[in-house]
């Protein structure tokens, strides 16, 4: 459990670096929850990923529901992209989810 390893009062990350963490595995929901848990309002995620299959595309779509996402670099010949992301305001996100 992430909250046991990183109690809210003890973690404050300016940056989270992630590379090749999204692929066809059964823990994509847990990965999303971990990103959300570890990020404060000013945390920046630098995330490189290689697009292989549809799970990567659907993860990015779900990721954008919680985070702003900016593509910094694209290597189309290798299907690799580098992103910068930061958490959306939780209040506005909760309002959008309630309206849906």
33: helix, strand or coil: helix
| Whole-number percent of the chain with pLDDT over 70 | 82
Domains of the chain: 2-99 (3.40.50.150)
- Kindly provide the b/e burial profile for residues 46-63, where b requires at least 16 CB atoms within 10 angstroms of the residue's own CB: ebbbebeeeebeebbeeb
Averaged pLDDT of the chain: 84
pLDDT attached to residue 86: 96
* pLDDT-derived band at 56, boundaries 50, 70, 90: low
Model pLDDT for residues 34-44, shown as the tens digit of each residue: 899 899 989 99
Residue 18 has pLDDT above 60, yes or no: yes
Query: Which among 27, 78, 81 has a CA at the least distance from the CA of 55?
Result: 27
Residue 53 has pLDDT above 80, yes or no: no
- In the predicted model, what is the mean pLDDT of residues 66-75? 95
pLDDT attached to residue 55: 59
Model pLDDT for residues 71-97, shown as the tens digit of each residue: 999 999 998 999 999 999 865 555 556
């Amino acid at each position: 459990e992430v909250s046991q390893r990183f109690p809210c009062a003890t973690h404050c990350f300016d940056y989270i670096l992630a590379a090749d963490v999204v692929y066809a595995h059964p823990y994509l929901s847990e990965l999303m929850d971990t990103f959300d848990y570890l990020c404060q309002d000013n945390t920046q995620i630098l995330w490189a990923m290689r697009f292989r299959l549809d799970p990567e595309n659907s993860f990015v779509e779900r990721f954008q529901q919680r985070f702003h996402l900016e593509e910094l670099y694209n290597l189309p010949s290798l299907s690799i992209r580098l992103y910068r992301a930061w958490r959306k305001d939780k209040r506005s996100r909760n309002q959008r989810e309630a309206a849906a």
